[in-house]
Amino acid sequence: MRKEVVLITGAAGEMGQALIHLLSERGVDNILAIDVRPVPKPLRSRCRAAIMGDILDENLFGRLVSEYAIPVIYHLAALLSTRAEFTPEAAHRVNVNGTLNLLKLAADQSSWLGKPVKFMFPSSVAVYGLPDLETKEQVGAVKEEEWNQPTTMYGCNKLYCEHLGRYYAHYYRQLAAEPPHNGVDFRSIRFPGLISAFTVPSGGTSDYGPEMLHHAAQGKPYACFVREDTRMPFMAMPDALKALMTLELAPRDALTTHVYNVTSFNPSAGEILERVKAAFPDAQVTFEPDLKRQAIVDSWPIDQDDSRARRDWGWQPDYDLDRAFDEYLIPNIQKRYAAV
């Protein structure tokens, strides 16, 4: 008998680690974690198995098919926006070919299981591309179908993979004698920049928010790579997980699209610094914009319109800016670095 598992790719990444923690706290004891990096030891014991493997490796997929039944996939593995600009072709391989491999796995698994496989896919604010700051200011919160002209490889990859997900959900093998029905139940969320109290992101362009906070908490100076007035949407990690879990559990017939915006607050970099300074008055933060990374954030919207998620599956963040800092980020970060 194949063992039934919940598959998480990118399990050693920021969201992967937080998701393993949350699922295991909720009693999920059959997590199969996959990452090219080792999953941190304390989290490994919360998983049924943790495999160090590459989502581009066909042998890995052979092993998955023969050993496991997989009704739910959280495909979190990706190269983020800044990192992807240094190695765009490698990013395309991981972000697109990797996703294609997972979608194919989901389609195969659904034939084995005789029911749809849930495929949870984090997309990003990076799928939007605004031409200039004036337009960014004017348009405000963007709807899902607006401004889909990303300027980064990562943004292009995420946008295309959303389409691949829709394709696998509705049109995969559409010319076959007996096309599969509802094989892949693809559900995607366009996340804003995420901030966690427990991990620091790497390779992203929204990283200035979390980096500023984590540097200050450790008493390290930080040179912020965007202007003080730079504004984009952010979200505290617990809300990102809440969004993923709520969308996963939503009844299929309540969903009117495969891809949803979610958002919670959108401070400027200067406003993030104000919060950081309120908690760490000695924080040494300077603004030294890197014009190229700045241009990427400038192409992202000031905010995302998440009314569709609110209407279809009752999305509502728990953390506004005050609560995110006062009740989640600052107390947990203080504890985390006091323990080091």
Q: How far apart are CA 122 and CA 271, in angstroms?
A: 26
Tokens of 316: 């509502």
Q: Which of residues 138-157 bind ligand AKB (CB under 6 A)?
A: 154
Is position 31 an interface residue for ligand AKB (rule: CB under 6 A)? no
Tokens of 225: 């790579």
Is position 130 an interface residue for ligand AKB (rule: CB under 6 A)? no
Q: Which of 68, 74, 154, 168 is catalytic?
A: 154
Is position 18 an interface residue for ligand AKB (rule: CB under 6 A)? no
For ligand AKB, the nearest residue by Cβ is 204
- Shortest reach from residue 205's CB to ligand AKB, in Å: 4
Q: Which of residues 49-88 bind ligand AKB (CB under 6 A)?
A: 80-81
Is position 128 an interface residue for ligand AKB (rule: CB under 6 A)? no
- Shortest reach from residue 134's CB to ligand AKB, in Å: 22
Q: CA-CA distances (angstroms) from residue 49 to 1, 7, 19, 243, 250?
A: 16, 10, 15, 25, 27
- How crowded is residue 31: how many other Cβ atoms within 10 Å of its Cβ? 23
Q: How far apart are CA 77 and CA 55, in angstroms?
A: 8
Nearer to ligand AKB, 109 or 263 (CB): 263
Name the residue among 277, 266, 272, 330 with its Cα closest to residue 300. Answer: 266
Q: How far apart are CA 330 and CA 340, in angstroms?
A: 16
Active-site residue 154, yes or no?
yes
Determine the interface stretch with ligand AKB among 161-169, 203-211, 236-244, 314-322 (rule: CB under 6 A): 203-211
- Shortest reach from residue 315's CB to ligand AKB, in Å: 18
Is position 10 an interface residue for ligand AKB (rule: CB under 6 A)? no
Sorted by sequence, the CB contacts under 8 Å of residue 302 that are 6+ apart come out as: 136, 137, 139, 140, 141, 231, 232, 233, 266
- Evaluated on CA atoms 312, 184, 263, 330, the torsion sign reads positive
Helices (H), 96-178: 98-113, 133-139, 153-170
Tell me if residue 310 falls in helix, strand or coil: helix
> Among residues 99, 205, 261, 299, which is the contact residue for ligand AKB, using CB under 6 A?
205
Where do the DSSP E strands lie in 116-244? 117-124, 141-142, 184-191, 193-195, 222-224, 234-236
- Shortest reach from residue 148's CB to ligand AKB, in Å: 15
Is position 193 an interface residue for ligand AKB (rule: CB under 6 A)? yes
Is position 125 an interface residue for ligand AKB (rule: CB under 6 A)? yes
> Among residues 206, 266, 299, 304, which is the contact residue for ligand AKB, using CB under 6 A?
206
- Shortest reach from residue 49's CB to ligand AKB, in Å: 28
Residues near ligand AKB (CB under 6 A) are 80-81, 124-126, 154, 193, 204-206
Active site residues per annotation: 154
